[in-house]
Amino acid sequence: MKRFAPAVLLLALGSCFMSRSSTNEPLDPRLLSTLEPGMPAHEVVALLGAPDFVVRLHDKGSAYLYEHTAGKSAGLFLLLLLLANEDIRSDRVWVFLDAGNRTTHVARTLAAERVEYALPWEDLHDELPERTGR
Amino acid sequence: MRTGGGLVLVGLLGLSSCVSFNWVRTSVSEPIPDRLWQSLEPGLSLSECLDLLGAPFRVLAGPGRTVALVYAWKESVDWGFSVSVPVRLGSASYRFTDQARDMHAVRLVFDQGWRLRETARGRLDDFLDVARKRRSLDFSSGQRLQR
C-alpha cells in the first residue's frame, strides 16, 4: 500500500487550482478622499470617470455608483470530489447628488483588497474589520 | 488482491473525468454585524447610517419619494454533483446543485428628509423584486407618471 502513497500524493497535488478575477479598475483611495459635499457632478465625473450605475431618486437628485470587484478561488479535485472556496469582495462608492447636481453625501466601502484564497473549510467572514463609510 | 486494488484505482480515475461531487463554500461581500444592525433606529440621518454601514449594495427609489439602501452579502456552502458522458453528436451533461442562491440583505428606507423611517431583513431577491414590481406599477399607471 505504501507504494501507492507517492502516486496518490502526486495526483492530489496535480489537482489543486487557484484562480482570481476582477471587474473594473480598482478605486484609488487618494482620489476618493477628495470627494466632498458641494462638489458638482461634472467634477465627480472628471475625477472618477463615468459611473457604473446611476439611480434617479425622484426629484431629490440622483446617486452614482462606482464599483470594483475582486474574486479569488482555491480548490482541490480528489478523484470524484471537488472541494473549493470562493471569495468575492468589492470596493464600492456611492455619490449622492441633489437636484442641482451637487454632492450631498459620499459613502465608500473598500473591501476588494481583503479578498483571499482559503481552504474549502475556512470561514472567511469570521474576522472582519470595523465597518466605516467614510 | 493487488490487481483488484489497481482496478479500483483505475476505475476511480476513469470516473473522475465524467462524474464529480462538488462541495463549494462561497463568500460574497461582508455581512452587517448584528451589533450594527441593532444600533439602527428610526430618525437616524443618512450620514449617520452611511458612517455606520458604509456603501450599500444598491440604492433604490421607492414609493412616496422614499429612498432605500440595500446591503447584501452571501455566506453559503453549496453541494451537488455533475455527470458528463460522450454521445454520438458530442457530449451530454447533467448537473444537480443544491444552492442557497439568495443573498442575505438588509434594507433601510429613508423619508423625504433623509431620515431613517424603517428597516427590514430578508433576502436580496425579495427586496429587488419589490422594487421591480413597484417600478412596473409606476410605468403602468399614467397618473403616477404624470406626478
A5 touches chain B (CB under 8 A): no
Tell whether B18 lies on the interface with A, counting CB pairs under 8 A. no
Question: Does A68 or A17 have the greater pLDDT score?
Answer: A68
- Please write down the HEC assignment for all residues of A45-103: HHHHCCCCEEEEECCCEEEEEEEEEEEEEEEEEECCEEEEEEEEEEEEEEEEECCCCEE
User: Do B37 and B95 contact (CB within 8 A), yes or no?
Assistant: no
Q: What is the reported pLDDT for B4? A: 77
| Range B1-5 average pLDDT | 69
Q: Name the more confident of A5 and A51.
A: A51
Contact call for residues A99 and A62 (beta carbons, < 8 A)? no
The residue length of chain B stands at: 147
Question: Which is higher by pLDDT, B11 or B66?
Answer: B66
Q: Which residue of B has its CA nearest to A119?
A: B25
B147 touches A at CB < 8 Å: no
Q: Does B45 touch chain A (CB under 8 A)?
A: no
Q: Are A79 and B46 within 8 A, CB to CB?
A: no
Chain A interface includes B54 (CB < 8 A) = yes
Largest CA distance in chain B: 83
Give the residue-averaged pLDDT of B11-31.
79
Partner-chain residue, chosen from B22, B28, B51, that has the shortest CB–CB distance to A133: B51
With CB atoms and an 8 Å threshold, state whether B51 touches A125: no
CA nearest to B71, candidates A64, A5, A94: A94
Longest CA span, chain A: 77
Residue of A nearest to B82 (CA): A80
Q: Which three cell numbers stand for residue B111?
A: 423619508
* Residue B147, pLDDT above cutoff 50: no
Q: Residue A75: which of B78, B87, B130, B110 has the closest Cα?
A: B78
Tell me how close the Cα of A71 comes to any Cα of chain B, in angstroms. 9
Set of chain B residues whose Cβ sits within 8 Å of the Cβ of A68: none
Residue B25: list chain A partners with CB under 8 A. Answer: 84-86, 118, 120-123
Q: Read off the C-alpha cell for A23.
A: 471587474
Chain A residues whose CB is inside 8 A of the B72 CB are none
Radius of gyration for the alpha carbons in chain B, expressed in angstroms and rounded:
24
HEC string of B74-115?
EEEEEEEEEEEEEECCEEEEEEEEECCCCCEEEEEEECCCCE
What was the pLDDT predicted at A129?
Answer: 66
Label residues A41-77 b or e (16+ Cβ within 10 Å = b).
Answer: beebeeebeebeeebebbebbbbbbbbbbbbbbbbbb
Query: Of the given ranges (A33-42, A45-54, A79-88, A103-112), which has the lowest mean pLDDT?
Result: A79-88
At B140 the pLDDT is 36
How does pLDDT run across B76-124, given as a tens digit for each residue?
A: 888 887 777 666 666 565 655 544 456 899 999 999 999 999 999 999 9
- pLDDT tens, position by position, A55-102: 999 888 999 999 999 999 999 877 778 899 999 999 999 999 999 999
Answer yes or no: are the C-beta atoms of A67 and A92 closer than 8 Å. Answer: yes
Which amino acid is residue A25, in one-letter code? E
Coil vs helix vs strand at B20: strand
Residue B99: its pLDDT value, please?
45
Tell whether the model's pLDDT for residue B130 goes beyond 90.
no
* pLDDT digit string, tens, across residues B32-50: 999 999 999 999 999 999 9
Question: Does this model's pTM top 0.90?
Answer: no
Q: Looking at the DSSP assignment, which residues form a beta bridge with residue B94?
A: B83
Say if B20 is an interface residue toward chain A (CB within 8 Å): yes
Q: Is B145 helix (H, G, I), strand (E, B) or coil?
A: helix
CB pairs under 8 A between A and B: 121
pLDDT score of B146 more than 50: no
pLDDT, position A130: 66
| Cβ within 8 Å of B, A 97-116 | 105-109, 111
